[in-house]
Structure 1
Amino acid sequence: MNFNFLSPVSDLVLAHNELLSQQALGRKLRIHSKQNGVPDLEGVSIVLLGVLENRNDHNYIGEEFQLNEVRKAFYALFPGSWNTTIADLGDINKGETVEDTYFALKTTIGVLIEKKIIPIIIGGTQDLTYANYRAYDALIPMVNMVNIDCKFDLGDSTRPIKNNSFVGKIILDQPYNLFNYATIGYQTYFNSQEEIDLMDKLYFESYRLGQISKNITLVEPVLRDANIVSLDLNSVKSSEVSLNQKYSPNGFDGKEICAISRYAGISNKVSSFGIYEYKASKDDEITSMLVAQIAWYFIEGVNYRIKDDNFNDENNHQKYITLVDDQELIFYKSNKTGRWWIEIPFLTEVHNKLKRHTLLPCIHQDYLDACNNKVPDRWYKAFQKNSI
C-alpha cells in the first residue's frame, strides 16, 4: 500500500504517551511515528485515521486545525477486555486541492477495507464522507449509509460540494451505488420542508432527535444494515462541547451519542466509521474527550460483534408469517442473538442490483405492528426502493 499520503503522529503526542500508565490504550496501539514509520498492519482490525481537511466548510475562513488533543484524550483511556489490535496511522494532510485529499482518503480506505480493517476516520468537514463512499465503488454493488446529524445535508447537487450538501452528490454522481440513506437525530427546524419531502420521495429513512432520545434502541436495526456511518459532531448539544464546537442547544447528549456509536460498532456490516466537524478551540478538553469516548465506544461495539447464523438452517432461527392487507410478511428471529429481520421479496421483472430475497433488519415491535395490520415503515420504504 502507498502510505505516502500519511503523516506521522506528532512527537508532542508521543512524548505525552510515554507518561501514561502501561495499561493505557496509547501504550497498546501500533503508532505511525517519524522514528519508526508506518506500523505493520498484520493482525490489526481497527485503525485511527485523521484527515486535516476543512476547506469545503461552507463557513471556511482559512483556519487550520490538528488532532493532537483528540489523540492525547484517546491514548489516556483504558481499553475494555478487547481482543482487537488497533493502530494509529496518523493523518492525511490537506492536498494541493480538496480533490487531492479525497483521492488520498478514498485510496487509503479502499485498501484498509480490502484488508478487512475498519477505519475510524476523525476529520474536519463531513463532505469527506463522499470520499469514504467512493472507496466502496469497486468493493460492493450497493452501499447503505447512515448519517448521525441534525441536518440531511442533501443540498443542491448542481453546486460545488460543501459540508452541508455532500449527500446530493452521493445520490446523483455516477456510479450509482447508494441503496439506502438514513439520518439519525435530525431536527426539523434545521431542514427545509422540500428536503424533508425529498427524503420521503426517495424512500430514505429519517429519525427525529425526539424519537431517538425517547427510544435509543430504534437506531439498532438501521445501523445493523449500514456499511458507512458518518457522525457529525454538530448533532451533539452545545452544553456537551467546547466553545468552537457549540452549534445548537438541542441535540444528543454525551451518553446518547456514545450509545449510538456502540450500536454502530456492534453491527457486523459497518466497515468504516467517521467522526466529522471537529473544531479545536482553546478550551478544547471537553470536545476532544468526547471524540475519544465516541471512538472508544465504537471499538467496544466491534469487540462485541456476534455473527448471526445462516438463515438457511431452520434450527438457527424462528420464522413468523403474518398477513397485512393481503401482503404476506415473513419475519425471522435469530436464536443466537434474539435479533429480528423481515424479508423483502425479490421482484423478477425489476433489473436492480439486489438479485435475491433481501433480509432487512427490524425490531420486535415491527412484528407486533404487522400482527396488528400495520406495515412496518422500514419494510415499506425498502420494498418501494426495490421496485424502482
Structure 2
Amino acid sequence: MNLALFFDPLPETLTAAVPAPTTLAAYATRFTETFPDWRNADLALIGLDEWRGSAAGPPAPNRHGANEVRQRFYQLQKGTGSVRFVDLGNLRPGLTLEDTYQRLREIIGALLEENTVPVLLGGSHDLDYGQFLAYESQDRAISFAVVDARPDMAEPGPGTPPEDSHLRRLLVHEPNFVFSLAHLAHQQYLTPPEVLIALEKLHFETMSVGEVRADRRLAEPLIRQAEFMSVDIAALRWQDAPGYFPANPFGLGNEEATQLCWYAGHNEQLSSFGLYGYRADQDPHGMAAATVATMLWYFVEGFYHRRPETGFGTFRFLTYTVVLPGNPDKLVFYKSRRADKWWMEVERLGDNAVKRVVPCTYEDYMNASQGDLPQRWIRLQALLG
C-alpha cells in the first residue's frame, strides 16, 4: 500500500534547521521529500487537520495544530535506548468526513499489519472512529480506553456534531467487536446521569476526574487492558492546556495527563494512540502545544520501556490463590516479579474453557482475600457471558 498518496509533507519551517544531536528531531525520520520507511518503524506519527466533526468548526487559517505541537515535540530530548520513529506528515482529508474516517481505517490497518504503532495527533475527537474501524478486520473482540471530560454519547442526527456522538457510534457499530471500554476523567457535572447508567449496564468501567486525581495508579490497569486509546485534550483543565474550545477550568492537571500517556505507552498490547482536540488558534502562547508535546513524549518514552509480561504461572510471576466460600470457590492472581503489576484470572462460571487473564489492582486481590468478589471480576463475568 502506497501510503504517501494520502499525506502532505511537513513544511520547510519545521525541518530546515539542523537539529541538536540529542533531541528527538535528530532521530525521527520525517516526511519532507522522501516518504519514510514506515514498515520498519516502531512508531508512526500522523498529523490531522480535520474539523468537520466539530461544532466549533476549523481553527483559524494557517494554524495547523499538529505542526504547532511538532515544533515543540522535536525540541525535546530523546530518552534512553534506540528510537525508530517516523513522521508521515499530515493526512489529506477526504472529500467528506466519512471519507476521512475510511482513510484512517485503511492507513491504520496497514500500519497494524506491520506492527508499527500509529500515533494520531490533532483534529476533532470523532476521528477516533476511523482509528476504531481499523480493528474490525482483526476478527476478534477488542478493548479500548477513552480519556475525555464527558462520554460523547449523544444521539446522532441533524444538529449533533459527530464529536459529541462518536463514542455511541463506536459502541453500536455492526458488527460489534467491542469487548470492553474504560472511560477515564469524565466530569460529573458535564455528564448526564443516564449516560453513566448506560455504560454501567454494558459492564464498562469509568473513572471520574476526581478518582483519577485522587489516585492515578488505579487508572493503570484500565489502560493496560486497552488495545487502542484516544485522548481529548478537553479532559485537561484549560489553565494547563489552553488549546481547546469551549474552555473548562476543571479537569486533569498536566501531571495526571502525562502519567496516563506513560501508562499507555508502557502497555505492550496497545497498538494505536490518538491525541485529539488541540486547536492552535486557542493557544496564543503555545502552552497547550507544549503540554500536548510533553504528553506525546511520555507516550513515546513509555513505549521504549515496554517489557512483555508473558508466561503467567511461570517463575516470572508470583501466583496467589484465594479460596472463597461460594461460587467461584477460588480466584487466582498473578503479580509480576519485575514490576508492581497485578493480573486476575477470570473463568466463565459453568465453563472453565472460557478464561481470560486481565489486569487488576492490589486492591482487587485484597478484596478477594477478605471474601469479597472484586467488582472487576463481576463485570468480566458479564462480558464473558
TM-score bracket relative to the smaller structure: over 0.9
- Counterpart residue identity of residue 354, structure 2: R
Q: Mapping of 1:260-279 within 5 angstroms?
A: 260-279=260-279
Matching of residue 341 in structure 1 with residue 343 in structure 2: yes
Partner of 1:13: 14
Partner of 1:51: 48
- Counterpart residue identity of residue 222, structure 2: V
The 8 Å contact of residues 239 and 246 in structure 1, kept in 2 or not, is answered as no
Matching of residue 122 in structure 1 with residue 124 in structure 2: no
Partner of 1:38: 35
Q: Once the 2 structures are TM-superposed, how far is the Cα of residue 236 of structure 1 from its aligned partner?
A: 0.4
Partner of 1:373: 371
Residues matched between the structures, number: 379
Alpha-carbon distance between aligned partners in 2 of 1:161 and 1:172, rounded to the nearest angstrom: 17
- For the residue of structure 1 that corresponds to 2:125, the secondary structure is coil
**Structure 1 length as normaliser, TM-score?**
0.92
Per-residue CA deviation, residues 118-160 of structure 1 (Å, 9 max, x unaligned), is 1110021111111101101112501111001111112215667
Partner of 2:320: 319
Alpha-carbon RMSD across the aligned residues, in angstroms, is 2.1
Alpha-carbon distance between aligned partners in 1 of 2:197 and 2:99, rounded to the nearest angstrom: 34
- For the residue of structure 1 that corresponds to 2:280, the secondary structure is coil
Alpha-carbon distance between aligned partners in 2 of 1:322 and 1:84, rounded to the nearest angstrom: 46
Alpha-carbon distance between aligned partners in 1 of 2:164 and 2:285, rounded to the nearest angstrom: 24
Query: Which segments of 5 or more consecutive residues in structure 2 lack a partner in the other structure?
Result: none
Alpha-carbon distance between aligned partners in 2 of 1:212 and 1:241, rounded to the nearest angstrom: 18
Q: Once the 2 structures are TM-superposed, how far is the Cα of residue 46 of structure 1 from its aligned partner?
A: 0.7
Alpha-carbon distance between aligned partners in 1 of 2:299 and 2:103, rounded to the nearest angstrom: 24
Return closer, same or farther for 1:107/1:42 CA change in 2, 3 Å cut-off. Answer: closer
Q: Once the 2 structures are TM-superposed, how far is the Cα of residue 347 of structure 1 from its aligned partner?
A: 5.1
Matching of residue 300 in structure 1 with residue 298 in structure 2: no
The structure 1 residue matched to 2:354, chosen from 353, 356, 361, is: 356
Q: Once the 2 structures are TM-superposed, how far is the Cα of residue 23 of structure 1 from its aligned partner?
A: 1.7
Alpha-carbon distance between aligned partners in 2 of 1:244 and 1:29, rounded to the nearest angstrom: 28
Alpha-carbon distance between aligned partners in 2 of 1:215 and 1:325, rounded to the nearest angstrom: 31
- For the residue of structure 2 that corresponds to 1:163, the secondary structure is helix
- For the residue of structure 1 that corresponds to 2:137, the secondary structure is coil
Alpha-carbon distance between aligned partners in 1 of 2:348 and 2:375, rounded to the nearest angstrom: 18
- For the residue of structure 2 that corresponds to 1:48, the secondary structure is strand
Per-residue CA deviation, residues 253-277 of structure 1 (Å, 9 max, x unaligned), is 1111001100111111110010001
- Counterpart residue identity of residue 2, structure 1: N
Greater Cα shift, 218-227 or 60-69: 60-69
Per-residue CA deviation, residues 262-304 of structure 1 (Å, 9 max, x unaligned), is 0111111110010001111251411111111111000111111
Q: Once the 2 structures are TM-superposed, how far is the Cα of residue 176 of structure 1 from its aligned partner?
A: 0.5
The 8 Å contact of residues 47 and 91 in structure 2, kept in 1 or not, is answered as yes
Greater Cα shift, 315-324 or 164-173: 315-324
Query: Which segments of 5 or more consecutive residues in structure 1 lack a partner in the other structure?
Result: none
Matching of residue 73 in structure 1 with residue 75 in structure 2: no
Alpha-carbon distance between aligned partners in 2 of 1:161 and 1:382, rounded to the nearest angstrom: 33
The 8 Å contact of residues 141 and 178 in structure 2, kept in 1 or not, is answered as yes
Q: Once the 2 structures are TM-superposed, how far is the Cα of residue 28 of structure 1 from its aligned partner?
A: 1.3
Alpha-carbon distance between aligned partners in 1 of 2:23 and 2:320, rounded to the nearest angstrom: 45
Partner of 1:155: 154
Alpha-carbon distance between aligned partners in 1 of 2:266 and 2:360, rounded to the nearest angstrom: 15
- For the residue of structure 2 that corresponds to 1:318, the secondary structure is strand
The 8 Å contact of residues 38 and 111 in structure 2, kept in 1 or not, is answered as no
Greater Cα shift, 193-202 or 155-164: 155-164
- Counterpart residue identity of residue 376, structure 2: R
- Counterpart residue identity of residue 359, structure 1: V
Return closer, same or farther for 1:243/1:290 CA change in 2, 3 Å cut-off. Answer: closer
Give the share of equivalent positions with the same residue, in percent: 27
Return closer, same or farther for 1:243/1:127 CA change in 2, 3 Å cut-off. Answer: closer
Greater Cα shift, 246-255 or 168-177: 246-255
Per-residue CA deviation, residues 4-47 of structure 1 (Å, 9 max, x unaligned), is 111111111112xx2431221112110111x2x21123531011
**Structure 2 length as normaliser, TM-score?**
0.93
The 8 Å contact of residues 30 and 39 in structure 1, kept in 2 or not, is answered as yes
Partner of 2:289: 288
Partner of 2:232: 232
The 8 Å contact of residues 54 and 124 in structure 1, kept in 2 or not, is answered as yes
Alpha-carbon distance between aligned partners in 2 of 1:84 and 1:205, rounded to the nearest angstrom: 34
Return closer, same or farther for 1:144/1:161 CA change in 2, 3 Å cut-off. Answer: farther
